[in-house]
Structure 1
Amino acid sequence: MLGDSLSAEYGLPRGKGWVALLDARLQTRHPGWQVNNASISGETTAGGKSRLPALLKQHQPAIVIIELGGNDALRGLALQHSENNLREMVQASKQSGAAVLILGMRMPPNYGSQYTEKFSALFAQVAQQEKTGLLPFFLDKIADKPDWFQADRIHPNTLAQEQMLDNVWPHLEPLLKAKKK
Protein backbone atom coordinates (compact mmCIF):
# COMPACT_ATOMS: atom_id res chain seq x y z
CA MET A 1 0.00 0.00 0.00
CA LEU A 2 1.55 3.23 -1.19
CA GLY A 3 -0.54 6.21 -0.18
CA ASP A 4 -0.88 9.49 1.63
CA SER A 5 -2.66 10.55 4.83
CA LEU A 6 -5.90 8.86 3.76
CA SER A 7 -4.15 5.50 4.07
CA ALA A 8 -1.67 6.43 6.83
CA GLU A 9 -4.33 6.76 9.55
CA TYR A 10 -3.89 10.53 9.86
CA GLY A 11 -5.81 11.72 12.91
CA LEU A 12 -7.06 8.22 13.72
CA PRO A 13 -6.17 5.85 16.53
CA ARG A 14 -3.54 3.34 15.32
CA GLY A 15 -5.11 0.24 13.85
CA LYS A 16 -8.43 1.94 13.02
CA GLY A 17 -7.74 3.02 9.44
CA TRP A 18 -9.03 1.31 6.34
CA VAL A 19 -5.67 -0.40 5.63
CA ALA A 20 -5.72 -2.06 9.07
CA LEU A 21 -9.31 -3.12 8.38
CA LEU A 22 -8.13 -4.52 5.04
CA ASP A 23 -5.49 -6.58 6.80
CA ALA A 24 -8.12 -8.01 9.16
CA ARG A 25 -10.50 -8.79 6.27
CA LEU A 26 -7.73 -10.51 4.34
CA GLN A 27 -6.97 -12.78 7.30
CA THR A 28 -10.57 -14.02 7.35
CA ARG A 29 -11.40 -14.09 3.63
CA HIS A 30 -8.02 -14.67 1.97
CA PRO A 31 -5.58 -16.06 4.57
CA GLY A 32 -1.91 -15.89 3.70
CA TRP A 33 -1.94 -12.32 2.42
CA GLN A 34 0.01 -9.67 4.30
CA VAL A 35 -0.39 -5.91 4.03
CA ASN A 36 2.64 -3.63 4.08
CA ASN A 37 1.43 -0.06 4.52
CA ALA A 38 4.06 2.36 3.20
CA SER A 39 1.71 5.35 3.31
CA ILE A 40 2.97 8.71 4.57
CA SER A 41 0.87 11.75 5.40
CA GLY A 42 1.59 14.55 2.94
CA GLU A 43 3.04 12.20 0.31
CA THR A 44 2.95 13.30 -3.33
CA THR A 45 3.31 11.24 -6.48
CA ALA A 46 6.92 12.44 -6.74
CA GLY A 47 7.64 11.22 -3.21
CA GLY A 48 5.95 7.90 -3.87
CA LYS A 49 7.87 7.46 -7.10
CA SER A 50 11.18 8.10 -5.35
CA ARG A 51 10.42 5.63 -2.52
CA LEU A 52 8.85 2.89 -4.63
CA PRO A 53 11.96 1.11 -6.00
CA ALA A 54 13.29 0.38 -2.50
CA LEU A 55 9.85 -0.72 -1.32
CA LEU A 56 9.45 -3.10 -4.27
CA LYS A 57 12.86 -4.58 -3.58
CA GLN A 58 12.24 -4.91 0.15
CA HIS A 59 8.69 -6.32 0.08
CA GLN A 60 8.44 -7.96 -3.37
CA PRO A 61 4.66 -7.41 -3.42
CA ALA A 62 2.22 -9.41 -5.50
CA ILE A 63 -0.15 -6.42 -5.58
CA VAL A 64 0.56 -2.71 -5.25
CA ILE A 65 -2.25 -0.34 -4.34
CA ILE A 66 -1.43 3.27 -5.24
CA GLU A 67 -3.40 5.98 -3.47
CA LEU A 68 -1.48 9.13 -4.37
CA GLY A 69 -2.20 12.37 -6.19
CA GLY A 70 -4.46 14.25 -3.80
CA ASN A 71 -1.59 16.22 -2.27
CA ASP A 72 -0.30 17.06 -5.74
CA ALA A 73 -3.62 18.72 -6.54
CA LEU A 74 -3.93 20.43 -3.15
CA ARG A 75 -0.53 22.00 -3.84
CA GLY A 76 -1.52 22.99 -7.37
CA LEU A 77 1.22 20.91 -8.97
CA ALA A 78 1.17 20.39 -12.73
CA LEU A 79 -1.17 17.57 -13.63
CA GLN A 80 1.22 16.26 -16.29
CA HIS A 81 3.87 15.67 -13.61
CA SER A 82 1.36 13.83 -11.43
CA GLU A 83 0.25 11.70 -14.37
CA ASN A 84 3.85 10.91 -15.37
CA ASN A 85 4.77 9.99 -11.79
CA LEU A 86 1.72 7.77 -11.45
CA ARG A 87 2.50 6.06 -14.75
CA GLU A 88 6.12 5.46 -13.73
CA MET A 89 4.99 3.95 -10.40
CA VAL A 90 2.59 1.64 -12.21
CA GLN A 91 5.25 0.58 -14.70
CA ALA A 92 7.83 -0.08 -11.97
CA SER A 93 5.31 -2.13 -10.01
CA LYS A 94 4.34 -4.17 -13.05
CA GLN A 95 7.99 -4.73 -14.00
CA SER A 96 8.53 -6.17 -10.51
CA GLY A 97 5.74 -8.67 -11.21
CA ALA A 98 3.03 -6.97 -9.14
CA ALA A 99 -0.54 -6.34 -10.19
CA VAL A 100 -1.61 -2.74 -9.61
CA LEU A 101 -4.75 -1.08 -8.30
CA ILE A 102 -5.02 2.71 -8.59
CA LEU A 103 -7.30 4.54 -6.17
CA GLY A 104 -8.56 7.63 -7.96
CA MET A 105 -9.33 10.93 -6.30
CA ARG A 106 -11.38 14.04 -7.04
CA MET A 107 -10.89 17.62 -5.96
CA PRO A 108 -13.50 20.07 -4.68
CA PRO A 109 -15.07 22.33 -7.34
CA ASN A 110 -13.33 25.43 -5.99
CA TYR A 111 -10.23 24.38 -7.96
CA GLY A 112 -12.10 25.17 -11.17
CA SER A 113 -13.92 22.77 -13.47
CA GLN A 114 -11.08 22.38 -15.98
CA TYR A 115 -8.50 21.45 -13.32
CA THR A 116 -10.84 19.16 -11.37
CA GLU A 117 -12.01 17.32 -14.50
CA LYS A 118 -8.48 16.80 -15.80
CA PHE A 119 -7.28 15.72 -12.36
CA SER A 120 -10.03 13.14 -11.98
CA ALA A 121 -9.46 11.85 -15.53
CA LEU A 122 -5.71 11.27 -15.13
CA PHE A 123 -6.25 8.21 -12.91
CA ALA A 124 -8.52 6.57 -15.48
CA GLN A 125 -6.14 7.45 -18.31
CA VAL A 126 -3.17 5.83 -16.60
CA ALA A 127 -5.20 2.79 -15.55
CA GLN A 128 -6.55 2.29 -19.08
CA GLN A 129 -3.21 2.82 -20.82
CA GLU A 130 -1.30 0.64 -18.36
CA LYS A 131 -4.08 -1.96 -18.02
CA THR A 132 -4.38 -1.80 -14.23
CA GLY A 133 -7.22 -2.00 -11.78
CA LEU A 134 -8.95 1.28 -10.96
CA LEU A 135 -11.28 2.55 -8.26
CA PRO A 136 -12.39 5.81 -9.94
CA PHE A 137 -13.14 7.71 -6.69
CA PHE A 138 -11.71 6.42 -3.43
CA LEU A 139 -14.05 8.55 -1.29
CA ASP A 140 -17.24 7.56 -3.08
CA LYS A 141 -20.21 7.38 -0.64
CA ILE A 142 -18.10 9.33 1.88
CA ALA A 143 -17.38 12.76 0.36
CA ASP A 144 -21.00 13.88 0.76
CA LYS A 145 -21.16 12.99 4.47
CA PRO A 146 -19.66 15.87 6.50
CA ASP A 147 -20.01 13.95 9.77
CA TRP A 148 -17.64 11.29 8.39
CA PHE A 149 -14.75 13.79 8.30
CA GLN A 150 -12.38 15.13 10.89
CA ALA A 151 -12.55 18.82 11.84
CA ASP A 152 -10.24 19.71 8.91
CA ARG A 153 -12.94 18.46 6.47
CA ILE A 154 -10.23 16.74 4.44
CA HIS A 155 -9.47 13.54 6.34
CA PRO A 156 -12.13 10.88 6.93
CA ASN A 157 -12.75 9.93 10.55
CA THR A 158 -13.26 6.45 11.99
CA LEU A 159 -16.89 6.37 10.81
CA ALA A 160 -15.70 6.40 7.17
CA GLN A 161 -12.98 3.75 7.31
CA GLU A 162 -15.20 0.71 6.73
CA GLN A 163 -16.79 2.38 3.70
CA MET A 164 -13.34 3.23 2.34
CA LEU A 165 -12.45 -0.46 2.56
CA ASP A 166 -15.79 -1.41 1.01
CA ASN A 167 -15.01 0.96 -1.88
CA VAL A 168 -11.64 -0.72 -2.49
CA TRP A 169 -12.63 -4.35 -1.91
CA PRO A 170 -14.55 -5.12 -5.16
CA HIS A 171 -11.58 -3.81 -7.17
CA LEU A 172 -8.96 -5.58 -5.06
CA GLU A 173 -10.54 -8.99 -4.61
CA PRO A 174 -10.24 -10.01 -8.30
CA LEU A 175 -6.50 -9.23 -8.09
CA LEU A 176 -6.22 -11.36 -4.95
CA LYS A 177 -7.90 -14.28 -6.70
CA ALA A 178 -5.70 -13.88 -9.80
CA LYS A 179 -2.52 -13.78 -7.67
CA LYS A 180 -3.49 -16.57 -5.24
CA LYS A 181 -1.10 -17.04 -2.35
Structure 2
Amino acid sequence: MKTRYAATARRLQWAIGWVALLLTCALQAQPAARPASFVATDPRTVLVMGDSLSAAYGLSAAQGWVALTAERIAKQRPGWRVVNASISGETTAGGAARIVDAVVRHRPSVVVIELGANDALRGLPLRETRRNLARMIGAAQGIGAKVLLVGMRIPPNYGPAYTMEFERGYRELAQRFGTTLLPFLLQPIASDRGNFQGDNMHPVAAAQPRIRDHVWPVLEPLLD
Protein backbone atom coordinates (compact mmCIF):
# COMPACT_ATOMS: atom_id res chain seq x y z
CA MET A 1 0.00 0.00 0.00
CA LYS A 2 2.77 2.36 0.98
CA THR A 3 4.71 1.45 -2.15
CA ARG A 4 1.67 2.15 -4.34
CA TYR A 5 1.13 5.52 -2.61
CA ALA A 6 4.78 6.53 -3.06
CA ALA A 7 4.67 5.67 -6.75
CA THR A 8 1.50 7.69 -7.23
CA ALA A 9 3.05 10.67 -5.41
CA ARG A 10 6.14 10.52 -7.61
CA ARG A 11 4.01 10.51 -10.77
CA LEU A 12 2.01 13.47 -9.49
CA GLN A 13 5.15 15.46 -8.67
CA TRP A 14 6.56 14.65 -12.11
CA ALA A 15 3.34 15.86 -13.78
CA ILE A 16 3.30 19.09 -11.73
CA GLY A 17 6.94 19.71 -12.66
CA TRP A 18 6.18 19.42 -16.36
CA VAL A 19 3.19 21.76 -16.09
CA ALA A 20 5.35 24.34 -14.30
CA LEU A 21 8.02 24.03 -16.98
CA LEU A 22 5.49 24.48 -19.78
CA LEU A 23 3.99 27.54 -18.07
CA THR A 24 7.45 29.07 -17.64
CA CYS A 25 8.27 28.57 -21.32
CA ALA A 26 4.94 30.07 -22.35
CA LEU A 27 5.51 33.15 -20.21
CA GLN A 28 9.02 33.60 -21.60
CA ALA A 29 7.64 33.41 -25.14
CA GLN A 30 5.28 36.33 -24.53
CA PRO A 31 6.52 39.70 -25.84
CA ALA A 32 7.86 41.95 -23.11
CA ALA A 33 5.58 44.74 -22.01
CA ARG A 34 6.52 48.06 -23.62
CA PRO A 35 7.98 50.67 -21.30
CA ALA A 36 5.62 53.41 -20.21
CA SER A 37 7.47 55.89 -22.42
CA PHE A 38 6.07 54.15 -25.50
CA VAL A 39 2.44 54.16 -24.43
CA ALA A 40 0.21 55.59 -27.15
CA THR A 41 -1.26 58.12 -24.73
CA ASP A 42 2.09 59.84 -24.21
CA PRO A 43 1.93 63.60 -24.88
CA ARG A 44 3.09 64.97 -28.18
CA THR A 45 5.96 67.42 -27.98
CA VAL A 46 6.60 71.01 -29.02
CA LEU A 47 10.36 71.52 -29.12
CA VAL A 48 11.63 75.11 -28.89
CA MET A 49 15.13 75.75 -30.20
CA GLY A 50 15.98 79.37 -29.46
CA ASP A 51 18.39 81.83 -27.93
CA SER A 52 18.18 84.08 -24.86
CA LEU A 53 14.85 85.52 -25.98
CA SER A 54 13.31 82.08 -25.55
CA ALA A 55 15.52 81.04 -22.61
CA ALA A 56 14.05 83.82 -20.39
CA TYR A 57 17.36 85.64 -20.00
CA GLY A 58 17.47 87.68 -16.78
CA LEU A 59 14.23 86.09 -15.53
CA SER A 60 13.17 82.88 -13.89
CA ALA A 61 12.38 80.18 -16.43
CA ALA A 62 8.72 80.22 -15.38
CA GLN A 63 8.39 83.89 -16.39
CA GLY A 64 9.46 83.43 -20.01
CA TRP A 65 7.09 83.30 -22.94
CA VAL A 66 7.92 79.64 -23.60
CA ALA A 67 6.92 78.59 -20.07
CA LEU A 68 3.78 80.71 -20.32
CA THR A 69 2.96 79.03 -23.62
CA ALA A 70 3.50 75.63 -22.01
CA GLU A 71 0.98 76.55 -19.31
CA ARG A 72 -1.58 77.54 -21.91
CA ILE A 73 -1.01 74.36 -23.89
CA ALA A 74 -1.45 72.25 -20.75
CA LYS A 75 -4.84 73.88 -20.17
CA GLN A 76 -6.14 74.17 -23.70
CA ARG A 77 -4.38 71.32 -25.50
CA PRO A 78 -4.12 68.31 -23.18
CA GLY A 79 -1.94 65.63 -24.69
CA TRP A 80 0.82 68.08 -25.58
CA ARG A 81 3.95 69.17 -23.75
CA VAL A 82 6.67 71.77 -24.38
CA VAL A 83 10.40 71.11 -24.23
CA ASN A 84 12.45 74.31 -24.12
CA ALA A 85 15.92 73.58 -25.52
CA SER A 86 16.84 77.27 -25.89
CA ILE A 87 20.30 78.49 -24.87
CA SER A 88 21.31 82.08 -24.19
CA GLY A 89 23.87 83.27 -26.73
CA GLU A 90 23.01 80.51 -29.19
CA THR A 91 23.77 81.06 -32.87
CA THR A 92 22.31 79.23 -35.83
CA ALA A 93 25.53 77.22 -36.04
CA GLY A 94 24.98 76.01 -32.49
CA GLY A 95 21.37 75.17 -33.25
CA ALA A 96 22.34 73.27 -36.39
CA ALA A 97 24.89 71.29 -34.36
CA ARG A 98 22.27 70.33 -31.75
CA ILE A 99 19.16 69.77 -33.82
CA VAL A 100 19.65 66.13 -34.82
CA ASP A 101 20.26 64.99 -31.25
CA ALA A 102 17.30 67.08 -30.05
CA VAL A 103 14.77 65.70 -32.52
CA VAL A 104 15.96 62.11 -32.02
CA ARG A 105 15.77 62.47 -28.25
CA HIS A 106 12.41 64.24 -27.99
CA ARG A 107 10.66 63.08 -31.19
CA PRO A 108 8.73 66.36 -31.47
CA SER A 109 5.61 66.85 -33.53
CA VAL A 110 6.27 70.60 -33.74
CA VAL A 111 9.61 72.41 -33.73
CA VAL A 112 9.82 76.14 -33.05
CA ILE A 113 13.07 77.65 -34.37
CA GLU A 114 13.90 81.08 -32.94
CA LEU A 115 17.51 81.75 -33.90
CA GLY A 116 19.54 84.17 -35.95
CA ALA A 117 19.65 87.32 -33.84
CA ASN A 118 23.07 86.50 -32.39
CA ASP A 119 24.41 85.83 -35.87
CA ALA A 120 23.31 89.28 -37.00
CA LEU A 121 24.56 91.06 -33.88
CA ARG A 122 27.99 89.61 -34.62
CA GLY A 123 27.82 90.46 -38.30
CA LEU A 124 28.21 86.84 -39.36
CA PRO A 125 27.76 85.95 -43.04
CA LEU A 126 24.04 85.70 -43.76
CA ARG A 127 24.62 82.87 -46.21
CA GLU A 128 25.82 80.72 -43.31
CA THR A 129 22.85 81.79 -41.19
CA ARG A 130 20.43 80.66 -43.88
CA ARG A 131 22.29 77.42 -44.40
CA ASN A 132 22.19 76.61 -40.70
CA LEU A 133 18.50 77.40 -40.42
CA ALA A 134 17.83 75.27 -43.50
CA ARG A 135 19.61 72.35 -41.84
CA MET A 136 17.48 72.74 -38.75
CA ILE A 137 14.27 72.90 -40.74
CA GLY A 138 15.31 69.88 -42.78
CA ALA A 139 16.14 67.84 -39.68
CA ALA A 140 12.76 68.67 -38.13
CA GLN A 141 10.80 67.93 -41.28
CA GLY A 142 12.85 64.78 -41.77
CA ILE A 143 11.15 63.19 -38.76
CA GLY A 144 7.75 64.47 -39.83
CA ALA A 145 7.57 67.48 -37.50
CA LYS A 146 5.85 70.74 -38.38
CA VAL A 147 8.05 73.82 -38.14
CA LEU A 148 7.36 77.32 -36.88
CA LEU A 149 10.16 79.63 -37.99
CA VAL A 150 10.39 82.73 -35.81
CA GLY A 151 12.08 85.74 -37.35
CA MET A 152 13.85 88.72 -35.85
CA ARG A 153 14.75 92.27 -36.81
CA ILE A 154 17.99 94.03 -36.01
CA PRO A 155 19.26 97.61 -35.83
CA PRO A 156 21.02 98.84 -38.98
CA ASN A 157 24.48 98.61 -37.39
CA TYR A 158 25.91 96.87 -40.46
CA GLY A 159 24.01 98.97 -42.97
CA PRO A 160 20.52 98.78 -44.44
CA ALA A 161 21.46 96.14 -47.02
CA TYR A 162 22.56 93.67 -44.33
CA THR A 163 19.47 94.43 -42.23
CA MET A 164 17.04 93.89 -45.09
CA GLU A 165 18.80 90.75 -46.27
CA PHE A 166 18.65 89.34 -42.74
CA GLU A 167 14.87 89.81 -42.53
CA ARG A 168 14.31 88.55 -46.05
CA GLY A 169 16.13 85.32 -45.22
CA TYR A 170 13.34 84.14 -42.91
CA ARG A 171 10.65 84.78 -45.51
CA GLU A 172 12.53 82.95 -48.23
CA LEU A 173 13.27 79.96 -46.00
CA ALA A 174 9.62 79.70 -44.97
CA GLN A 175 8.56 79.76 -48.62
CA ARG A 176 11.20 77.29 -49.67
CA PHE A 177 10.38 74.71 -47.00
CA GLY A 178 6.68 75.45 -46.59
CA THR A 179 6.97 76.30 -42.90
CA THR A 180 4.81 78.57 -40.79
CA LEU A 181 6.47 81.96 -40.26
CA LEU A 182 6.24 84.53 -37.49
CA PRO A 183 8.18 87.44 -39.02
CA PHE A 184 9.19 89.25 -35.81
CA LEU A 185 9.04 87.75 -32.31
CA LEU A 186 9.09 91.09 -30.50
CA GLN A 187 6.59 92.89 -32.72
CA PRO A 188 4.04 93.78 -30.00
CA ILE A 189 6.60 95.18 -27.55
CA ALA A 190 9.45 96.53 -29.68
CA SER A 191 8.35 100.18 -29.76
CA ASP A 192 8.30 100.69 -25.98
CA ARG A 193 11.63 100.93 -24.16
CA GLY A 194 9.88 100.08 -20.91
CA ASN A 195 9.33 96.53 -22.14
CA PHE A 196 13.04 95.78 -21.98
CA GLN A 197 15.65 95.13 -19.35
CA GLY A 198 18.61 97.43 -18.82
CA ASP A 199 20.46 96.00 -21.82
CA ASN A 200 17.62 97.21 -24.10
CA MET A 201 17.58 93.78 -25.73
CA HIS A 202 15.81 91.31 -23.46
CA PRO A 203 12.16 91.74 -22.52
CA VAL A 204 11.10 92.16 -18.89
CA ALA A 205 8.77 89.69 -17.20
CA ALA A 206 5.73 91.94 -17.67
CA ALA A 207 6.22 91.83 -21.46
CA GLN A 208 6.41 88.03 -21.73
CA PRO A 209 2.62 87.41 -21.79
CA ARG A 210 2.33 89.72 -24.81
CA ILE A 211 5.01 87.72 -26.62
CA ARG A 212 3.16 84.50 -25.77
CA ASP A 213 -0.07 85.97 -27.13
CA HIS A 214 1.78 87.05 -30.28
CA VAL A 215 3.14 83.55 -30.90
CA TRP A 216 -0.03 81.68 -30.02
CA PRO A 217 -2.14 82.38 -33.15
CA VAL A 218 0.51 80.86 -35.43
CA LEU A 219 1.51 78.05 -33.06
CA GLU A 220 -1.94 76.80 -32.11
CA PRO A 221 -2.97 75.57 -35.59
CA LEU A 222 0.15 73.37 -35.65
CA LEU A 223 -1.16 71.47 -32.62
CA ASP A 224 -4.08 69.94 -34.55
If the TM-score is normalised by the length of the shorter chain, which range does it land in? Answer: over 0.9
TM alignment of 1:20-169, pairs within 5 A: 20-169=67-216
* Deviation, structure 1 residue 13: 2.0
Output the CA distance in 1 between the equivalents of 2:158 and 2:204.
24
Among the aligned pairs, what percent are the same residue? Answer: 52
Verify the 8 A CA contact 2:153 2:184 in the aligned structure 1.
yes
Scaled by the length of structure 2, the TM-score of the pair is 0.78
Q: Secondary structure at the match of 1:35?
A: strand
Output the CA distance in 2 between the equivalents of 1:117 and 1:28.
39
Output the CA distance in 1 between the equivalents of 2:187 and 2:132.
24
* Deviation, structure 1 residue 147: 0.3
CA RMSD of aligned residues (A): 0.7
Output the CA distance in 2 between the equivalents of 1:69 and 1:169.
21
Structure 1 unaligned blocks of 5 or more: none
Verify the 8 A CA contact 2:120 2:166 in the aligned structure 1.
yes
Matched residue count:
177
Deviations 1:120-151 (A, max 9, x none): 11011100100000001111011111000000
**Who wins on radius of gyration, i.e. which is larger?**
2
Output the CA distance in 2 between the equivalents of 1:107 and 1:14.
25
What code does the residue aligned with 1:27 have?
Answer: A
Output the CA distance in 1 between the equivalents of 2:171 and 2:189.
20
- After TM superposition, where is structure 1 displaced by more than 2 Å over at least 4 residues in a row? none
Q: Which has the higher contact order (CA 8 A, sep 6+)?
A: 1
Verify the 8 A CA contact 2:196 2:204 in the aligned structure 1.
yes
Verify the 8 A CA contact 2:111 2:148 in the aligned structure 1.
yes
Output the CA distance in 2 between the equivalents of 1:23 and 1:173.
12
Verify the 8 A CA contact 2:55 2:61 in the aligned structure 1.
no
What code does the residue aligned with 1:81 have?
Answer: E
* Deviation, structure 1 residue 28: 1.2
Output the CA distance in 1 between the equivalents of 2:163 and 2:214.
21
Structure 2 unaligned blocks of 5 or more: 1-47
Q: Secondary structure at the match of 1:175?
A: helix
* Deviation, structure 1 residue 14: 2.7
Output the CA distance in 2 between the equivalents of 1:46 and 1:145.
31
Report the equivalent of 1:18. Answer: 65
Scaled by the length of structure 1, the TM-score of the pair is 0.96
